Structure 1
Amino acid sequence: MTSLARPFTDFQITTVTGGPFFIGELFQSKFNDEAPEYGHSVIAFWRKSWSHFVPVCYANMLLHERVILVGGAMTDGRVFREIPAEVRQEIKDAGGLYYSVLKYSFDHFADECDAFFGYAADARALKVDLAAGFEHTPHQHLIVHWHKPLGNWRKKRLVEKIHRLGPF
């Protein structure tokens, strides 16, 4: 198990099957929509006690033609406030839970894709995205993380292809 999967005391970041089972209500409250059944659900769980695991942060990783589309990212602020103060501070000092979920995902899915794309219209999320390794593209809100060497022509082609999808 990598340290990316266990970044903090009493935390586990993992992919799960059936993500909506774990985060459906939170997703509905954050986005006023159903949580996606497709893609890979990456969730940071907090072990509140030995028999009580709580999802705190979520992101969806959707494989689309050799790239991964990152979407639906959210953190449950109510649960985060229940975490002991010293652990909360450790998480904040390390860039936050969403940052840790991104870093885990970049490592976990690296061999499955040529790049990670995000659509970041939220300024706070964008700040974390950029800190984790995303960079701006020429298109508003469209960001990319190049985790492997690709030629400039291939990069440009991928950016334009994903831009044509629209917001995701």
Structure 2
Amino acid sequence: MPTNPATKSVNVPAATHFLLSKEAKRLQISQADYTGAAVRYFAERGLHPVEDVAREGQLIMQQVKKLGDRVFGYLQEQERSLLLPMLEEMLRSRVTLERVLRMNEILVNNLTQQLSGLNEAQLNEQREGLKQLRAQNEDMIERQAKEAIAAAQQVGAGRINDGDTVAKAVKN
């Protein structure tokens, strides 16, 4: 019987007591501290110490599932807030490009027919006009590209809340 009223005694099989002594000595702690820590471990986690480790495995699997759900939710949010608007803008650009190419083809055919009736002076005048238009077009493309990059940087690298922000900046 213990002499200290704050402690209680527990009867354990001899083999268990041998393991307790061996492990407590290895860790350089008292048998009471080792026993207390072991009891607290099972109690705090709600584990049944006699059953297999299956309960703890179930808890780990639940945590893994929760983490997987969070990751999947994050990916879905990224898809909704970032990837879908990017895809939409890319498809819009593709359709616009197809239309512009078709209109360009029609204009080239019409221009070829008109230019066949011009004299050399008129042709030179048309070439100069085309050079000026090309320069203006290249300047406009460069300006719009810089504005789009600046708008994307303002929105931030982490999360684009409005998928049309970059597109709006480009169109202005």
TM-score by length of 2: 0.16
Max Rg structure: 2
Bigger proportion of residues as helix: 2
TM-score by length of 1: 0.17
Query: Per chain length, whose mean CA-contact separation is higher, i.e. which structure has more relative contact order (CA < 8 Å, sep 6+)?
Result: 2
